[in-house]
Each structure stands twice: as C-alpha cells, then as structure tokens.
Copies of this chain bind each other. A is one copy, B any other.
C-alpha cells in the first residue's frame, strides 16, 4: 500500500549516521581536548563523563544526544559544550545493545572482482543510506563456510538484515531454516523457499539472446554456461534449448559447456575448446552465447588468439551489459540487466521486511533488454 518503505524512525534521507539535530553543534569540532599530548582523543569517555562535566545527569545527556524534546535550551547548550570539549562520541555498541538494532545491512557477493556486482551494490547502498542504514559488503568467495559465518553476523544481531547475491548461499541457507532470518535474495534465488527475491526472467532473456542469433541466420549456436547447480544457469540453459527447439533445431550436446568460473580466462579457454577442429566440420558452432559478459570478453580474446574473427567467422552474445562490454573489440551484443534497479529493489524489499517482519514480501522480476552491438 505504501509507496515506499519507512523504517520506524529515521525516515528522512540523512547523509550521516543518525545525524539528527544533535550533530550540527559539534561538527567541525576544533578538537580542543584538554588531555595530554599524544593521548588518543578522549579514548574511554562515556556518557557519564559528559554528564559530570556538564553538571547534569546521564539521562539528560542521552536526551540531548537523541534530540528529544524536553530539554531546556540552556541545559542542552551546556551538554553540547561538554560534548564538544571532550570530543565524546557515542558508543554505538552500547546504544545498539539497548535498542536491539545495529542499523547495519550486509550485502554478500560471491566475488567482488566481478564487475557485474558493482552497480547492483551501488543501488543497494544508495537506498540503504537514504533510510539511515549503513551497507557493508562481504565477499563470500562462493564458499559455504564463509557464507554461513556472514549469516551468523545476522543471527548474532551484528547486522539488521542482509542481501545475498550469492547463489551458493541459497542452498546453504535452505538447510538452515534461515527463511526466518531478515534477508532477501538478489539475482539468484529459489522462488519456492519463501525468501523475498528480485531478479530477471532468465529463461526469457536467454531465449531472446538465442532468437537474436537465429534472426541473424545462425543455426549452430553454442552455449557457454556457468555451473549448472546455479538456478540461473539452469533457467538460461532451458531458455536456450527451447528457443533452439522452437526454431526446429536439435541442440547438440557438444555445443554446451559448463564452467565453474566466470573469469575472463575461463571464457577464453572455453572458446578455444569449443572451436577445436575435432568437431565434425558441419557441426562447429557459428555463434556463441555466453552467460556473462566477463565470459564473453574472454571468448573474444580466445577466438582472436586462434585466428577467428568476430562477427565474421563467429558471432558472440554476452549477458549483463557491464561497462567493459562496450569497450572490447568488437563491442559486445548482450542482454542488459537493470543492475542499479535490481540493487535498489532488493534494498527496498529488505527494508520492507525489517519494518514489518510478518508481511509476506513478494518476489519481483525486472525487465531485461537486448543490446545489439558489433559482436553479432
């Protein structure tokens, strides 16, 4: 019903952490601490110290800190002065223990070397910050153990919620009854497992890529896919197979490769393998559909090194439309994912879930788009 999620308090966009009115006064603190020389500015200073210096109670300091109404201006100023003078900073640990929230959101990616995640993460980050949350990124390395330990951060209340872009986690998560945890899946998800998710229609997207190649006259189309354990890999494979079948083509098993990496190198060597002359003459693919632009970029490199020209000898289609896609030679035809929106939506779903843990949050599919460039 609500046009946007408004977690309890903190509804206005605030650039800084809980930076209510109370921050203004001591911005630009001239660090006028009376302490010794190299003394780490007001190390173990607590609210009690400030209270003493200001000649008030801790309750009053707390009220000032939290911009509560019932404080006389004079008192407030006294407190502010004491805070300023002492260089006091709230111990967020204590505050969080009291309020039982950390205002931290976690985003887990399987590999932050993959540029695909960058824009998604930016989308998450911007929405989170708008709602007074910090977003912190973790690299799971697609490792179940590490994933689990990050989920533990959630269980142990060190973060309020999480967004997981990591396929492997999904499987892990399943066994952990983690659907009770405040997290959402992004890009890779299992619709059946009761966790809110956002992604694209991988089946249709793959079909679109293949149909584009078909329209260009290709009939022997190869698929360079990632590990078939991933849901998106299965969906894209099915889209590829069905598109071919619908065109009256029987997909050859030899045209398909499954890689356990999305690195450029993986794509390069896969291309070389695919083009091996061991293939029956009339069965060698004339086009390659790779399920990620990183892979496709590698494919371009691999084809180049075995003397094949793109798109004359062989066409290439990628997936994602990351920024490198338009820079390589030839620029990649690819399926664009709305990365920014994917991230923003994921963040919004999570915020929604935090605001109302009971409401069932829907899964959402965002539109993709075929971007035609020089590689086809």
Contact = CB atoms under 8 A, between A and B. Distances in A.
Contacts of A306: none
Contacts of A122: 113, 139
Contacts of A115: 113, 115
A364 interface: no
A145 B97 contact: no
Contact of A139 (B113, B137, B357): B137
A157 interface: yes
Interface string A118-148: 1101100100010000111111000001101
Contact of A157 (B15, B92, B156, B327): B92
A136 B324 CA distance: 26
A359 to B, nearest CB: 13
Contact of A137 (B17, B19, B137, B329): B137
B323 A264 contact: yes
A180 interface: yes
Given A15-B145, A31-B177, A329 B304 contact: yes
A138 B136 contact: yes
A301 interface: yes
Contacts of A41: 177, 180
A113 B323 contact: yes
18 contacts: A15-B146, A16-B149, A16-B152, A19-B149, A31-B176, A40-B180, A90-B156, A93-B97, A104-B158, A112-B112, A112-B121, A113-B323, A115-B115, A125-B139, A136-B136, A137-B137, A265-B323, A268-B327
The 9 closest A-B pairs by CB, nearest first: A113-B118, A136-B136, A137-B137, A92-B156, A40-B180, A89-B155, A301-B327, A264-B327, A93-B97
